[in-house]
Chain A
Amino acid sequence: MAIGTLAGLFSGLFGVGGGSVIVPLLILWLGYGERAATATSLAAIVFIAGFAAAAQGLYGNVRLLDAVLIGVPAVAGVLIGTRLQQRLHARAIALLFAAVLVASAVELVLR
């Protein structure tokens, strides 16, 4: 119950799914394996992001067209990414992406 509330709060506040909160909590508190934790978290995110998007909609913040333009290609992207995962060396990519995240964070703050 605490995980659900925390995840919702986090997702609503930051506009992300909340997986980075749910997955570790499912593993640490409920003894989930990693695979089941990621999958279950993904299913919960459908509801969480849905509720939070609806709430943001009430504030008039949702840009519907942009959301569709991002969300639909993203589905194709996930399918490509999952396929690439079988072939590429994911370690190097993960480290590279971490660097991109940090650089973008700096860019955001300096903006």
Chain B
Amino acid sequence: MIGAIAIGLAGGIVAGLLGVGGGVLFVPGLVLFLGLGQHQAEATSLLAIVPVAVVGTFRQDRYGNVVRPDALLLGLLSVAGAAGGVALANALSGAFLRDAFAALMVIVAAQLVHRTLRGPGSPPPAGPPAGRVDRGGAKKA
């Protein structure tokens, strides 16, 4: 129980600090510290992400950063993909899924290093069109 709370707190702090989702920490935490199987860890992580994303969304929306119609569209269009992804995950063996997840973690780490070394002052790669203007600086939320 203490372990789960620690994973949640640590994942949340990292998410708030670096803008990396909590799931990438929840899943390995559940597997390595609580001894869950890969499937259970992924499923539990998904549910744990929801309250974090809800609170984050409200905060960001107050700053006017959320493009609401696109967010809703993206979210609703993901139903089929989410169902497919879950079915696929459950069709794969835990060992294979765990290795694939490890690869994902390395990719996220590489992304993070790249983003960090590129520095917060550099402009975004594509110029935003009207209506999708970056309302803040280039520093990530």
Contact = CB atoms under 8 A, between A and B. Distances in A.
Contact of B86 (A52, A76, A104, A106): A52
Given A39-B65, A51-B82, A91-B116, A85 B17 contact: yes
Contacts of B43: 15, 53, 56-57, 59, 61-63
Interface string B1-28: 1001111111111111111111110111
Contacts of B101: 14-15, 108
Interface string A6-36: 1111111111111110100011101111111
Interface of A: 1, 3-20, 22, 26-28, 30-36, 38-53, 55-57, 59, 61-85, 88, 90-91, 93-95, 97-99, 101-102, 104-109, 111
A55 to B, nearest CB: 4
Interface of B: 1, 4-24, 26-32, 34, 36, 39-57, 59-61, 63, 65-68, 70-90, 98-113, 115-116, 124-129, 132-141
Contacts of B5: 69-70, 73
A7 B18 contact: no
Contacts of B78: 4-5, 7-8, 11, 18, 44, 47-48, 51
Contacts of B12: 73-81
Contacts of B51: 71-72, 74-75
A33 B11 contact: no
